[in-house]
Structure 1
């Protein structure tokens, strides 16, 4: 009997992109989510089966997962959806994947390693742009400098984000900027900024609490890790925000107001932006001797890449190329995994 997987959250911006890409790849996932009417419409476009399932109904969720071998969770924020879905996956023996970039979700999944191994399932959060390319770059830097004690990652090229991604960012305002220091995830003291050359000269970049603060450590063991984005005006404002303002913006009424504003924005980058956009990543590893190596990685636009990498990972695991327990992309598929996708290249500097 052919193995099958579920796309949960198929009605969102990224869910629709991944569903379309699955059809183009000749895959036949079971589409799932909360809104039956919207699911029915998307499933009809691709001749997919669908099932309305709420994460608040464990028995129904487990019944749905019992029909498949793996689930690709695309319903964010993952701080709310990961735990109930992963708990159900462990009970049903279903491989778990998602496209999160949330540090706490990665760390929660890592804490479930033993239970996942006991259940015989693979747990891999971050199978999209968060964090496949940056995780592969981190592993490449480790290979270039095995004694590295510090890793800096930089990302440039964001042309827009989905509403779900934006809302996840709103939820993390109160946490400040988190980095990895001496193996521990800590809040940075003040704004961290530096200049990074993404291929067109040095540009100002600011530190962000990106998922690699969690995953790159699990992939490489490098104890000190920070992630930077090429700075725009909004990022600079966020980086310089004081603790009191962060606290105010983390309060329920402010969170709801900010999320309502996001709902008035476009659903995400349009097709032209996805097809023409490019992402530039920078990796820099240093050791205690003061030696440094650096590399750059170029990939397709983030949402386009997410559809490609997430489906490829699911396909490989359904083909028995996975490994039980909590895993990162580079740990299972190697640092060169990202180079297998079109319009992707890496340069050692």
Structure 2
């Protein structure tokens, strides 16, 4: 029977994922991490096996070898992914994680060939970022295959977990990134703004550096990608000034103190927010040489963390099922670097409760450049 190892399960998101896996009856589940006391308590409460090992000091491959699929929930993933991917490629274990960090996606993309040679699937981003955005990008490209410029927008509110906050703190001051004509380009934080209609009228949004700048070219065949987040102008200005903190945050004592503080004061959304919170993703694909030819759509999902628990376990179940019938199974996700949409298709996101998608505009609607489909917005432009 195929077996699943989930590493980093006693953090906020890891706990949600472990609980979801148990509630869905995932067989041969083992939880893992480096803190023996916390791990043993969790494993006993869940009624599953626990395994303690440290990514820096232990023989990671020896601990991973017996498992068919590994799901990494230990962030920041820029610090954990490489070691676990090394172990997975060595042992023939499929790799999943819930990162949203674009440098991790890019590093794993560059390991596509070695993973294919080893018969290993590398599938990062099976949480909120990038499952819904990646599936929406694929959906848009299926309706306009000639589109080569993708814009995504995200809107939501909520309390971050300490792990998410530490990741954001680690990225503070690093600026942003977009994809232009097939190349990743570093840009200032919040360097561009536009108006996006998430369903209640146009709202101010600014560019943010999410993993779609790496995944969307593969899943949607686009050459240019920008990702925006809805936020008021004052918050965007504060985000832009974070560049000046880069040197401060790189000082080790400051970094350690900030991580400790975030761990102490944040533990993610409460039960009510988890159950009632929602997110909205807006997307547009267009032809660069004929901007009036475009497709727009919106996707609504549950709370980020609730959705991540569902999609991460759902992705793990898919990989386990592909393993159950042997290496040549028709259901096996191909080896090498994959995105959620290339692995499971654009409809994958709609398998989960609380998600719905709305097509706003098609190329036929765009023949009249002054026409806007009800519910969509006129071009907001960029500044």
Tell me the distance in 1 between the aligned counterparts of 2:79 and 2:5.
18
- 8 Å contact kept, 2:178–2:213: yes
Tell me the distance in 1 between the aligned counterparts of 2:64 and 2:243.
42
- The Cα shift of 1:193 comes to 1.0
- The Cα shift of 1:144 comes to 1.7
Residue of structure 2 equivalent to 1:23: 22
- 8 Å contact kept, 1:206–1:235: no
Residue of structure 1 equivalent to 2:87: 88
- The Cα shift of 1:238 comes to 4.0
- The Cα shift of 1:68 comes to 1.0
Residue of structure 1 equivalent to 2:162: 163
Tell me the distance in 1 between the aligned counterparts of 2:159 and 2:242.
25
String of CA shifts for 1:134-163, please: whole Å, max 9, x gaps: 000111111121111211100111312111
Aligned: 1:181 with 2:180: yes
Q: Give matches, 1:32-51, under 5 Å.
A: 32-51=32-51
Q: Which moved more, 1:67-76 or 1:244-253?
A: 244-253
Q: Which consecutive unaligned segments of at least 5 residues does structure 2 have?
A: 323-330, 361-383
Tell me the distance in 2 between the aligned counterparts of 1:259 and 1:242.
17
3-state secondary structure, aligned to 1:319? helix
Residue of structure 2 equivalent to 1:260: 260
- 8 Å contact kept, 1:174–1:250: no
Tell me the distance in 2 between the aligned counterparts of 1:158 and 1:168.
18
- The Cα shift of 1:241 comes to 1.5
Change (3 A) 1:11 1:234: farther
Relative to the length of structure 2, the TM-score reads: 0.87
- 8 Å contact kept, 1:192–1:239: no
Q: Which moved more, 1:185-194 or 1:78-87?
A: 185-194
Relative to the length of structure 1, the TM-score reads: 0.95
Tell me the distance in 2 between the aligned counterparts of 1:315 and 1:156.
29
Tell me the distance in 2 between the aligned counterparts of 1:250 and 1:231.
26
Residue of structure 2 equivalent to 1:307: 309
Q: Which moved more, 1:239-248 or 1:328-337?
A: 239-248
Residue of structure 2 equivalent to 1:290: 291
Aligned: 1:335 with 2:366: no
- 8 Å contact kept, 2:10–2:39: yes
String of CA shifts for 1:260-302, please: whole Å, max 9, x gaps: 3312322101111111011100001111211222100001111
Tell me the distance in 1 between the aligned counterparts of 2:337 and 2:312.
16
Change (3 A) 1:40 1:174: same
Change (3 A) 1:187 1:238: farther
- The Cα shift of 1:66 comes to 1.6
Tell me the distance in 2 between the aligned counterparts of 1:6 and 1:189.
38
Residue of structure 2 equivalent to 1:126: 125
- 8 Å contact kept, 2:172–2:245: no
- The Cα shift of 1:72 comes to 0.3
Change (3 A) 1:242 1:341: closer
Residue of structure 1 equivalent to 2:377: none
Q: Which consecutive unaligned segments of at least 5 residues does structure 1 have?
A: none
3-state secondary structure, aligned to 1:101? coil
Larger radius of gyration: 2
Tell me the distance in 2 between the aligned counterparts of 1:77 and 1:85.
13
- The Cα shift of 1:189 comes to 4.9
String of CA shifts for 1:219-266, please: whole Å, max 9, x gaps: 122111111111147741443217444344444344334323312322
3-state secondary structure, aligned to 1:194? strand
Tell me the distance in 1 between the aligned counterparts of 2:312 and 2:18.
11
Tell me the distance in 2 between the aligned counterparts of 1:199 and 1:99.
27
Residue of structure 2 equivalent to 1:145: 144
- 8 Å contact kept, 1:130–1:211: yes
Residue of structure 1 equivalent to 2:371: none
Tell me the distance in 2 between the aligned counterparts of 1:253 and 1:237.
27
- Number of corresponding residues: 347
- 8 Å contact kept, 2:55–2:80: yes
- 8 Å contact kept, 1:339–1:345: yes
3-state secondary structure, aligned to 1:240? helix
